[in-house]
Amino acid sequence: LRFGVERDLGGIFRSAEVGFNYTGRVKRLTPNEFLLGLKGNTDGTTSVPIPTEFLYDRGANLGFLGLGSTIAYDVQGLLDSGIYNQVRNPNADVNTKRWRVREDVITGYLQLNIDTQLGTNRLTGNVGVQIVNTDQRSDGIASSGRVTGVLSTPISDGASYLYALPTLNLVMRGENDFVARFGLGRQLARAKMNDMRASIDYNFNQAQVNCPDLSCSPWSGSGGNPRLRPWIADGVDLSLEKYFARDGYVSVAGYYKNLKSYIYQQQQLQDFTGFPIRGTQEPLIREGFVSIWSNGEGGKLYGFELAGALPFSLFTPALEGFGLQGSYSFTESEIEPNPGDPTEPLPGLSRHVWNATAYFER
């Protein structure tokens, strides 16, 4: 839901905008996993010939693995035929795939739009601020064990938070199709919703119930984090661009982001108060470490990008519609997940990224 109003002002600020947005997101996952067994298996039979109506005339060619031709059959047809008993998989790792996450985001904003002439150059852009309020909640299951030894309990958690995001964007359009862009502001990127799930696949080691400290805690596990905050960075961006022909350009851009908060996987202390245990003896401690997505503080991300597009019509009209475009970017990053440890790059972030595309469009 979006609502906004704009008023013309005149002068360096062409207009002013004020308004709000509401976004509601819900994501659910419900697993349907079954163990299959032959129906009517009263004599211990564990295999039967595949009914001929489900066999394919040609086998599967696995020659590339050195296995030659193997049998092939209609798996879905067999399932639908009723030959199997379907027993729901009760194991903890299946239970913890069941979760629901809801995220409600209300954003209020004020924006001043810039459009003015500076000599022979035209300056456009905007300056403003967003006030973003987020309420996130997740329902899931904390589960441990396998088959008849599975222990499960419902779990719900969440967080509410407010961020102010001021931003300045400027575009200077000069003579000879030269453009300079400048951006400065606080930036926000939300976590993936499955990373915010409440479900935890935990372990309870009955042999360590008498452990008095975390070094030998009977509790451990992995899962999501319904209190996960978004990425927050103070960033500055500068781009210089030169346009030519109808669809050709070359650009160089640089950026620097001071990370206030980022997301990575960490061993985090979890309170297991109220979680079911095996046996009757109460453990000495109710805390343990779980591997979940967490927020780190402090770090930086910086780099540059070269990009361009070259229409071949510049060389001869016979090549109208043909062209080449591409880009190269270099990125460095430093985070310190655990205070006192050496810095490390952000996991999964590529240092060098390039692409090139030859195209025809007419």
Rounded distance between C-alpha atoms, residue 211 and residue 198, angstroms: 27
In this model, does residue 249 exceed pLDDT 80? yes
Per residue in 113-133, pLDDT (tens digit) is: 999 999 899 999 999 999 999
Average pLDDT for residues 229-244, to the nearest whole number? 96
Return the percentage of the chain with pLDDT > 90, whole number. 57
SS3 197: coil
Number of H helices, E strands in the chain: 2, 18
**Tell me, what's the pLDDT at 2?**
97
Share of the chain above pLDDT 70, in %: 99
To the nearest whole number, what is the mean pLDDT of the chain? 91
Tens-digit pLDDT profile for residues 10-64: 889 999 999 999 999 999 999 888 888 888 766 777 788 888 899 998 888 888 9
Gap between the Cα atoms of 147 and 145, Å rounded: 7
Q: State the CB neighbour count (10 A cutoff) for residue 69.
A: 11
Residue 74: band (very low, low, confident or very high) from pLDDT cuts 50, 70, 90: very high
Tell me: pLDDT of 89 over 90. no
Helical residues (DSSP H) of the chain, grouped into ranges: 75-81, 92-95
3-class state of residue 40 by DSSP: coil
Of the candidates 103, 90, 98, 191, the residue with the CA atom closest to the CA atom of residue 140: 98
pLDDT of 215 = 85
Question: In this predicted structure, what is the pLDDT of residue 115?
Answer: 95
Whether residue 213 has pLDDT greater than 90 = no
Per residue in 54-64, pLDDT tens?
999 888 888 89
Tell me what the mean pLDDT of segment 340-355 comes to. Answer: 88
What CA–CA distance (Å, rounded) separates 97 from 28? 10
pLDDT of res. 176: 87
C-beta separation of 41 from 27 below 8 A: no
pLDDT at 42: 66
The Cα–Cα gap between 87 and 39 comes to: 11
Amino acid at 192: K
Asked if pLDDT for residue 198 goes beyond 80, the answer is yes
Helix (H, G, I), strand (E, B) or coil at 271: strand
- With tokens 């899962």, the residue in question is 223
Do residues 174 and 180 touch, judged by C-beta distance below 8 A?
yes
Cβ–Cβ under 8 Å, residues 339 and 266: no
Mean pLDDT for the stretch of residues 200-222:
87
Mean pLDDT on 317-333 = 95
Q: What is the mean pLDDT of residues 240-258?
A: 94
Structure-model confidence comparison of residues 317 and 40, the more confident one: 317
